[in-house]
């Protein structure tokens, strides 16, 4: 990605940060609402975790050759 | 006109299916589009109420009952049946066209049924009709998958039937009313039967097994009808069952994990049906007015964008003949419009603001937060990270960009673009004007999707999911493997079940046949040629041998004559 792309990604993030800091209070606030850009970290870590955990499960147990179910025929 | 409107939509669909059997090709496509739309137009004229009852074997059946809740589902089922029929306009396959209409009839039949027995009848109709959309692909692989699909659904239907019988024995009523866990076995059996159709792991494996193997057009109907009609039944019968909250969260994440491993584009989409239906199941479990509205709204939105995504994937398969990420790539320039339309579906399912996933998914997430289920709320948000990751990034990046495999693309029928265009329009329309959907929702709960805190939640979440993907994108490329799922139990055990159950029966019949053969041989040897009795030791001969056989024949004839005369005399004088 070019620098321009990163800037385009930063704009909505900064906008959301501004809304979080200066926008209206959440009607039923959660403890994590006070952490600036909590959801950015959540998205990034979640994404990485999903990929790593799923791939590990796949390698350890789940992935089989494509003809796995055809061998008994 | 109200007289006609009071006929159940399932009847219209079933009549259309019967017409299909005799209509020529040109008329069939039109009927498949127009009839659901007519049924929809008639439905919108009706107020909630009961419109058709019937007696069957002493049971009072409620075949057509409109409530605020089933109205939403009926509208979307009829709407999607019409749009899917536009997508299938070019098709010259009577079987599929009949099956699709019967399947739609089953789905709206379930939706408007007012008692357990009619529900069950339509439930089974759905299972049988939809299986034909898998069989119609006509490959060995599809026929096998179709039979697995059918057997799982028959098993589910049997659980449902068992539950209904016990429920009737317990309460003496077949009326569709909410069940509670205290009712014991009947309620739990019914829940298990419905759980099969809602694709609740471990009973879900039929879905990612059969959907990628269905026909390009058949998969659209399947993606819309079976699981969502089951969500409707959950809303009616199991609202507020705590278990469903956790089952729903498990579904939402289960689909995400398997979507990482899947290689077939329609299988990735299929696993994300499980994930999305998980939100709805959790919404049913939370059981508040907001969460149940969320479940109904999300079913409505989900049907629109998931059908659009399946249409996009189907267009790729139609054009290239390939369905695996490891065989696709570099189609962006050649299939520009498919890409654009697919991305609208992808933005919708990912919950981007201004698209229809956002206005319904956020309802369920907010309802979880409002009910102080913080863990549930965060796990559902985690699942939506996975949704964007796979449907919004993995599929399009590796299908339309990625390694250019120089695939030849056949042009796809124009009607496919029309259908996708309609759905893309609706996904955006409901996203921009959520009131159109909210005004149909059954329960009283105020909700505003476009608020500051929903944007604070969604925008950074999606942005950083993209960044996470970008960093690890190479890990997400398709791999030429399959991931074993719970269908392992019935697919790998099939040879053993065969040996255990079919083997002994076959052996028994074989032994019977051998015994029969021996008896026949014995009887033939003894009785086959009675003449042989007269010349012991010399065996039977085909020709008459006077030297050997005249004497014994003469003696036996004389003996018969003698005894006949004696017997006649005895009978005459003995009276």
What single string gives the DSSP state of each residue in B376-426? HHHHHHHHHHHHIIIIIIIHHHHHHSSS------PPPPHHHHHHHHHHHHH
Task: Report yes or no on A49 lying in a domain.
Answer: yes
Q: What is the mean predicted confidence (pLDDT) over B140-152?
A: 95
Helix B356-370 and helix B289-320, axial crossing angle in degrees, nearest 10: 140
Pair of tokens at residue B351? 């919950």
Helix ranges (DSSP H) in B172-288: 185-198, 206-210, 218-237, 242-261, 265-286
Domains contained in chain A, number = 1
Closest Cβ opposite residue A62 in set B453, B456, B484: B484
Pair of tokens at residue A2? 């070019």
B251, B281, B539 from B273: Cα distances, Å: 9, 12, 78
Q: In b/e form, how buried is each residue of B93-117, taking b as 16+ CB within 10 angstroms?
A: beebbbbbbbbbbbbbbbbbbbbbb
Task: Report yes or no on B488 lying in a domain.
Answer: no
Cα–chain center distance at B2: 33
**Do both B283 and B375 map to the same domain?**
yes
Task: Report yes or no on B485 lying in a domain.
Answer: no
Quote the pLDDT of residue B40.
Answer: 96
Task: State yes or no: pLDDT of B172 exceeds 50.
Answer: yes
A18 at interface of B, judged by CB pairs closer than 8 A = no
- Using a CB-CB cut-off of 8 Å, the residues of chain B touching A31 are 374
A36 at interface of B, judged by CB pairs closer than 8 A = no
Measured CA to CA, the distance from residue B297 to residue B378 in angstroms comes to: 20
Measured CA to CA, the distance from residue B506 to residue B513 in angstroms comes to: 10
Secondary element (H or E) of residue B259: helix B242-261
Q: CB B472 to CB A48 under 8 A?
A: yes
Q: CB A58 to CB B481 under 8 A?
A: yes
B140 at interface of A, judged by CB pairs closer than 8 A = no
Pair of tokens at residue B414? 């124009």
**Do both B192 and B245 map to the same domain?**
no
Task: State yes or no: pLDDT of B85 exceeds 60.
Answer: yes
Task: State yes or no: pLDDT of A72 exceeds 80.
Answer: no
Length of chain B: 575
Domains contained in chain B, number = 4
Q: Within the 490-549 window of chain B, which residues sit less than 8 Å (CB to CB) from chain A?
A: 491-492, 494-495
**First and final CA of chain A: distance in angstroms?**
48
User: Å from B300 to nearest chain A CA?
Assistant: 26
Sequence-ordered list of residues with C-beta below 8 angstroms from that of B252, at least 6 positions apart, any chain: B275, B276, B278, B279, B282, B379, B380, B383
Instruction: Of B55-64, B108-117, B359-368, B501-510, give the lowest mean pLDDT range.
Output: B55-64
Measured CA to CA, the distance from residue B97 to residue B104 in angstroms comes to: 11
Beta strands in A1-73 (DSSP E): 63-65
Task: State yes or no: pLDDT of B533 exceeds 80.
Answer: no
Q: How confident is the model at residue B497 (pLDDT cuts 50, 70, 90)?
A: confident
A15 at interface of B, judged by CB pairs closer than 8 A = yes
**Do both B474 and B437 map to the same domain?**
yes
**Do both B535 and B522 map to the same domain?**
no
**Do both B123 and B74 map to the same domain?**
yes
Q: What is the mean predicted confidence (pLDDT) over B212-221?
A: 97
Task: State yes or no: pLDDT of B223 exceeds 80.
Answer: yes
**Do both B283 and B425 map to the same domain?**
yes
Task: Report yes or no on A54 lying in a domain.
Answer: yes
Measured CA to CA, the distance from residue B548 to residue B440 in angstroms comes to: 101
Task: Report yes or no on B72 lying in a domain.
Answer: yes
Q: Is B210 exposed, middle or buried (0-12, 13-18, 19+ CB in 10 A)?
A: buried
Task: Report yes or no on B487 lying in a domain.
Answer: no
The residue of chain A nearest to residue B353, with distances taken between CA atoms, is A12
Task: Report yes or no on A71 lying in a domain.
Answer: no
**Do both B12 and B149 map to the same domain?**
yes
Task: Report yes or no on A46 lying in a domain.
Answer: yes
Quote the pLDDT of residue B348.
Answer: 97
Q: CB B463 to CB A62 under 8 A?
A: no
**Do both B155 and B219 map to the same domain?**
yes
Mutation for A interface: B290, B384, B385, B455, most A CBs within 10 A: B385
**Do both B311 and B454 map to the same domain?**
yes
Task: Report yes or no on B484 lying in a domain.
Answer: no
Quote the pLDDT of residue B167.
Answer: 96
User: Å from B494 to nearest chain A CA?
Assistant: 9
Quote the pLDDT of residue B10.
Answer: 95
Q: In b/e form, how buried is each residue of B404-414, taking b as 16+ CB within 10 angstroms?
A: eeebeeeebee
Measured CA to CA, the distance from residue B85 to residue B97 in angstroms comes to: 8
Task: Report yes or no on A5 lying in a domain.
Answer: no
Task: State yes or no: pLDDT of A71 exceeds 80.
Answer: no
Q: Which range marks the domain in which residue B414 is found?
A: 239-479
A53 at interface of B, judged by CB pairs closer than 8 A = yes
Q: Which range marks the domain in which residue A43 is found?
A: 32-63
Point out which residues pair with B62 in neighbouring strands: B53
Cα–chain center distance at B326: 27
**Do both B519 and B460 map to the same domain?**
no
Quote the pLDDT of residue B1.
Answer: 46
Measured CA to CA, the distance from residue B340 to residue B371 in angstroms comes to: 38
- Using a CB-CB cut-off of 8 Å, the residues of chain A touching B386 are 46-47, 50
């Amino acid at each position: 990605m070019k620098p321009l792309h990163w800037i385009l990604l930063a704009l909505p993030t900064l906008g959301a940060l501004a809304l979080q800091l200066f926008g209206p209070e959440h009607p039923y606030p959660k403890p994590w609402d006070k952490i600036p850009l909590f959801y950015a970290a959540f998205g990034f870590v979640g994404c990485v975790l999903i990929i790593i955990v799923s791939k590990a499960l796949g390698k350890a147990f789940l992935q089989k050759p494509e003809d796995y179910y055809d061998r008994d025929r | 006109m109200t007289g006609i409107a009071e006929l159940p939509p399932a009847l219209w669909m079933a009549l259309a299916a019967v017409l299909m059997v005799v209509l020529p090709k040109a008329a069939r496509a039109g009927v498949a589009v127009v009839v659901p739309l007519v049924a929809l137009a008639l439905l919108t004229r009706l107020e909630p109420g009961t419109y058709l009852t019937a007696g069957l074997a002493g049971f009072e059946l409620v075949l057509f009952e409109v409530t605020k809740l089933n109205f939403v589902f009926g509208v979307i089922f009829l709407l999607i049946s019409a749009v899917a029929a536009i997508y299938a306009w070019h098709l010259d396959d009577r079987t599929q066209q009949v099956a699709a209409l019967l399947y739609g009839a089953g789905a709206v039949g379930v939706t408007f049924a007012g008692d357990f027995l009619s529900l069950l009848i339509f439930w089974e109709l759905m299972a049988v009709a939809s299986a034909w959309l898998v069989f119609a692909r006509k490959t060995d692989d599809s026929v096998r998958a179709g039979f697995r699909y059918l057997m799982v659904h028959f098993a589910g239907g049997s659980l449902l039937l068992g539950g209904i019988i016990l429920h009737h024995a317990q309460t003496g009523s077949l009326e569709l009313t909410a069940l509670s866990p205290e009712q014991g076995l009947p309620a739990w059996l019914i829940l298990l039967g419905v759980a099969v159709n809602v694709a609740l792991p471990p009973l879900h494996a039929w879905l990612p097994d059969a959907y990628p193997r269905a026909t390009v057009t058949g998969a659209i109907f399947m993606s819309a009808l079976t699981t969502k009609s089951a969500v409707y039944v959950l809303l009616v019968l199991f609202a507020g069952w705590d278990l469903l909250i956790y089952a729903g969260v498990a579904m939402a994440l289960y689909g995400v994990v398997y979507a990482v491993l899947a290689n077939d584009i329609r299988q990735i989409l299929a696993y994300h049906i499980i994930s999305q239906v998980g939100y709805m199941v959790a919404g049913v479990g939370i059981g508040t007015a907001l969460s149940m509205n969320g479940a109904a709204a999300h079913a409505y939105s989900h049907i629109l964008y998931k059908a659009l995504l399946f249409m996009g994937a189907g267009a790729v398969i139609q054009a290239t003949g390939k369905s695996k990420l490891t065989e696709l790539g570099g189609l962006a320039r050649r299939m520009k419009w498919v890409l654009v339309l697919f991305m609208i579906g992808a933005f919708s399912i990912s919950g981007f603001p201004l698209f229809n996933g956002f206005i319904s998914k956020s309802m369920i997430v907010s309802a979880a937060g409002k009910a102080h289920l913080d863990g549930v709320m965060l796990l559902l948000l985690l699942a939506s990270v996975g949704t964007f990751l796979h449907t919004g990034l993995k599929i399009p990046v590796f299908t339309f960009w990625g390694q250019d495999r120089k695939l030849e693309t056949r042009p796809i029928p124009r009607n496919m673009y029309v259908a996708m265009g309609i759905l893309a329009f609706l996904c955006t329309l409901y996203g921009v004007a959520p009131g159109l959907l909210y005004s149909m929702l059954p329960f009283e709960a105020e909700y505003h999707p476009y608020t500051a805190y929903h944007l604070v939640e969604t925008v950074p979440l999606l942005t950083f999911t993209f960044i996470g993907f970008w960093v690890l994108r190479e890990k997400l490329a398709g791999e030429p493997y399959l991931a074993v799922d719970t269908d392992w139990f019935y697919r790998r055990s099939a040879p053993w079940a065969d040996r255990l159950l079919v083997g002994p029966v076959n052996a028994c019949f074989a032994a019977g046949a051998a015994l029969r053969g021996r008896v026949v041989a014995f009887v033939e040897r003894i009785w086959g040629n009675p003449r042989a009795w007269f010349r012991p030791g010399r065996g039977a001969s085909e020709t008459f041998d006077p030297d050997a056989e005249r004497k014994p024949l003469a003696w036996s004839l004389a003996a018969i004559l003698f005894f006949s005369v004696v017997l006649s005399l005895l009978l005459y004088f003995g009276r």
